[in-house]
Amino acid sequence: MRQCATMYTALSSVALLVSGASAAAYEVRSEHMLDPIKNVAFINDTGKFWEAQKDNDGFFSVIGREGAVLEADLKGVVMHSRLAYGLSRAFMATGDEKHLQLASQALNFIYEHGHDEVYGGWHTQTDSRGNRIPTGSEDNEKWLLVQTYALLGMVAMCEATNDPAVHCETLDKSIQEYDQLLWDTETKEGGYFEKNSRDFSRQFGKGIGGVLDVLNVWAMPRLLINHGAGEGAGGKEGNAAHQLTMQRYSNLSDLLMTKVVASMDSPSVKYGVASGFYTNWTIAESDTTTQVGHLYKIIWTLARMYALSPSSTEYLDAIDKLWRENKMLGAFDEQVGSPHALLDWRKGITSRQKGYWQAEQSFMAGMTVLTLDRQMGEAERDEYLEVIDKSLMFFYDRLVDPVHGDVFSQLDETGKTVVKGDKGSIYKSCFHSMELAFYAYVYSMLFRNDVSKRRVPLFYRLHNRDETKEELLVVLTPIPIEKGRLVIESVDRDGEAYTDFDSNSRTVRVRRGEGGVFRVVFGIHDK
């Protein structure tokens, strides 16, 4: 019990330091919060699981429960991008460059076969040789989800490797093309079209994914990737992609508040938020289904936005409103420890099954809010901590496959029976499982009560190959956080102490022609 109590104060240390409150009643039980290194073991094992799916050209995508390839002649672009994300995070957590090599293989498949060289954008699926396979949906051949998540792996690799010649440059070009093809220039509010024909001549609808997914997949992360004091990834201050991303981050932040969150106040929306909208951003009344996981994803998106803009207290108001709404709705199954699956915003919960990605959303919602630098009452802290703790326990105890590896897709409402055990599809790989484990590791390490232990080591492969630059200044920001709280405490390069860095600005200086694998220890310095 003593260990549990210590971990409570660890994860609520910000609130405790600000308010001076006594330790709360809730006691953490999750082993992966009490001993964060255990998350790294899962990350490493999951990387090995996906290494076994390697093909001569990319990776097999459709993978069964036991790791067997179910369809050898079908590959997904999103699956490869999500795999590259997971493997990039595996490298950042472990320092094992083999994960980076595999991530590069996944991205190379996308670069060589995923892009539509005729009309632009990204294909959904290919055969084993990389030839496009039509989806059969002429009006939605370029579904926004595919176009968005095709960029996910590039973002993670750009952050982990600082490789402007490949991943960062490709990301910048892809963002500009993405915006040119998908942004609605006809309506005042703008937004990205949800459904698109292959040639983009037919475009219609807006959706919650076009706001939440875009913010978290590339808009916010792209702003945090800063290669060279004041520079965007692979380019100078003011390069087109950087300026565009700042503009769209602002646009999407506004849409999240004025359309998605504001839909809670619509007379027709009785529970949660609307997720489908017409092109003019009026609610699509015929589309009443909302993923419960999205209710939590909105919360942690708002928390990240607030961390980057602490003067925007309206984000906190929206977080509190959504958290109360979820509690009233019973969105989180407190007995099982995971959110339910589906919601009809007119009727309430419609599916009580439990899924792998929903557990991540509730964990991230609780963790990102609890670690903000703001005052929080004891009872409120307990509520957030309970959701964090139970979500992580459910993930590792029920969703992780202890026999074959990675995670099951879907469990029944009791969380005890596997409904869908597949490990991979054209859309699914290890993205959500790796992301959850990575952030569970990072946050649990950084927010310990013992100030002397508030640190986490992460790995980056940084090189300055630009002959025109005597030095490359790389600003590292692994999590969105309020200014001045996160610092670099120490840096090693290839196992040797490295002193050419600035702690407070989190800037690592790499001289021309130099580079290597950098082990960067981040720490929290709250006053």
Q: In sequence order, what DSSP letters do the residues of 407-440 get, joined into one string? A: B-SEE-TTS-SEEE---B-SS-SSHHHHHHHHHH
Per-chain mean pLDDT for the chain: 93
Q: How does pLDDT run across 247-266, given as a tens digit for each residue? A: 999 999 999 999 999 999 99
Structure token digits, residue 163: 């490789």
Radius of gyration, CA atoms only, the chain: 22
pLDDT at 438 over 60: yes
Quickly state the pLDDT bin for 164 (edges 50, 70, 90).
Answer: confident
Secondary structure letter of residue 22 according to DSSP: P
Contact 358, 293 (CB under 8 A): yes
Q: Spell out where 104-234 has E strands.
A: 125-126, 195-196, 203-204, 206-207, 226-227
Question: Coil, strand, or helix at residue 349?
Answer: strand
Q: How does pLDDT run across 31-76, given as a tens digit for each residue? A: 999 999 999 999 999 999 999 999 988 999 999 999 999 999 999 9
Cα–Cα distances in Å, from 192 out to 77, 206, 215, 251?
20, 6, 12, 11
pLDDT at 18 over 70: no
Instruction: Report, as an integer, the average pLDDT of 121-147.
Output: 97
Can you give the pLDDT at residue 468? 85
User: How many residues can be counted in the chain?
Assistant: 527
Contact 329, 343 (CB under 8 A): yes
Which of 262, 260, 230 is CA-nearest to residue 246?
230
Residue 23 CA to residue 21 CA, distance in Å, equals 7
pLDDT at 316 over 60: yes
HEC-encoded secondary structure of 66-98? CCCEEECCCEEHHHHHHHHHHHHHHHHHHCCHH
Residue 476 CA to residue 226 CA, distance in Å, equals 7
Parse the chain into domains and list their residue ranges: 454-527
Amino acid at 24: A
Residue 194 CA to residue 183 CA, distance in Å, equals 10
Which of 414, 403, 396 is CA-nearest to residue 354?
414
**Which residues does residue 400 pair with via DSSP β-bridges, in sequence order?**
407
Percent of the chain at pLDDT above 90? 87
Contact 65, 404 (CB under 8 A): yes
Quickly state the pLDDT bin for 226 (edges 50, 70, 90).
Answer: low
Cα 368 to chain centroid distance, Å, stands at 12
Quickly state the pLDDT bin for 427 (edges 50, 70, 90).
Answer: very high
**Which residues does residue 75 pair with via DSSP β-bridges, in sequence order?**
126
Residue 284 CA to residue 206 CA, distance in Å, equals 9
Quickly state the pLDDT bin for 234 (edges 50, 70, 90).
Answer: very low
pLDDT at 227 over 70: no
Structure token digits, residue 427: 């859309």
**Which residues does residue 458 pair with via DSSP β-bridges, in sequence order?**
520
Q: Which residue has the tokens 């055969």?
A: 127
Burial of 43-79, coded b for 16+ CB within 10 Å and e otherwise, reads beebbebbeebeeeebbbbbbebebebebeebbbbbb
Q: How does pLDDT run across 72-97, given as a tens digit for each residue? A: 999 999 999 999 999 999 999 999 99
Q: How far apart are the first and last CA of the chain?
A: 28
Cα 419 to chain centroid distance, Å, stands at 25
Residue 81 CA to residue 251 CA, distance in Å, equals 25
